[in-house]
Structure 1
Amino acid sequence: MSPEHQTHVAHFVAEVFGGEKLYTMLDNGSHASMIGKHIGKMLTEEKRQRWVQLLLQTADEVGLKSDPEFRSAFVGYIEWGTRLAVINSQLTENPITESEPMPKWGWGETGGPYMVDDPK
């Protein structure tokens, strides 16, 4: 993976977890553009599992929080996102439009990862 791609992925994941909006602001990205990067790539379950393994190993190496609640949410998102990436990689057209909001992952509350920021 190129250093540029690493940065884009880091910005995306950080934004999904409520960090600064670096992916949308600096990388000029959107949820649709992230999905679009996977269209037609024909990812396999083996590749998905290896990617998950590398992400979790990296989380340990960089000292990401290790408390159970945080890691559970992190692993849940990684599993959700990578499984969707495999599904989307089998498609020929992007099912997400530019108007779709960036996903925002929470701490396991119902409603899933698609939560629009509270306008308050």
Structure 2
Amino acid sequence: MPSLYEHAGGEEGLHRLEQLFYDSVLRDPLLQPLFGEGQPQHVDHLTMFTAESFGGPDSFSRELGFAHLIAVHRGLEITEEQRLRFVELYVAAFDAAGMPGDAPFREAVLEHVEFGTQVAKQNSHAQSDDELHPLREVPRWTWSGDDD
């Protein structure tokens, strides 16, 4: 069975997905404040993170590291409404990007996004390191969920 990374179309497929998603959050009045005016490298960072999570190259860990991900979320104070909107826009981008529509893949991606947004929300409210989510490395997602 191919990895989620391979099934998504590799780097090219995931970059297309992340670009559509990022463009949508920058237009969204609820999420745009979390992203500011946008950063050109953000799509590449999202692509590297998702690729590594789905069984692709470990570029995110080697080039940025998980501490970077924690740092960019701290202090954002993400609301539940924003978290849910993030998931909603990600699913819309998933559909617009022409990702494979089979139920097992779609379910794995949705579980990954739900989990990731919960981690980001918790970390965004952490006042101390003890309040951070315990995850300290890129999760390895498979067809049946988180492998860690």
> Same fold by TM (over 0.5)?
yes
Partner of 2:44: 7
Residue in 2 that maps onto 1:21: 58
Q: Deviations over 1:40-83 (max 9, x none)?
A: 11011111111111111111111111100011010001001101
Q: For residues 107 and 114 of structure 1, what CA distance do their matches in structure 2 show?
A: 9
Which shifted more, 48-57 or 88-97? 88-97
Aligned-CA RMSD value: 2.0
Q: Which moved more, 1:28-37 or 1:49-58?
A: 28-37
Determine if the alignment matches structure 1 residue 34 to structure 2 residue 66: no
Q: Give the aligned length.
A: 108
State percent identity of aligned pairs.
32
Query: Relative to structure 1, is the Cα distance of residues 10 and 93 closer, same or farther in structure 2, using a 3 angstrom cutoff?
Result: farther
- Which residue of the partner structure matches residue 88 of structure 1? 123
1:105 aligns with 2:126: no
Matched, 1:70 2:105: yes
Cα gap change, 1:96 to 1:90, in 2 (>3 Å): closer
SS at match of 1:18: coil
Call closer, same or farther: CA 1:71–1:21 in 2, change over 3 Å: same
Q: Does 1:61 align with 2:63?
A: no
Structure 1, unpaired ranges of 5+: 116-120
TM-score by length of 1: 0.78
Q: Contact 1:102/1:114 (CA < 8 Å) preserved in 2?
A: no
Q: TM-score, normalised by structure 2?
A: 0.64
Q: Is the helix fraction higher in 1 or 2?
A: 2
Q: Distance in 2 between matches of 1:31 and 1:96?
A: 12
Unaligned runs of 5+ in 2: 1-37
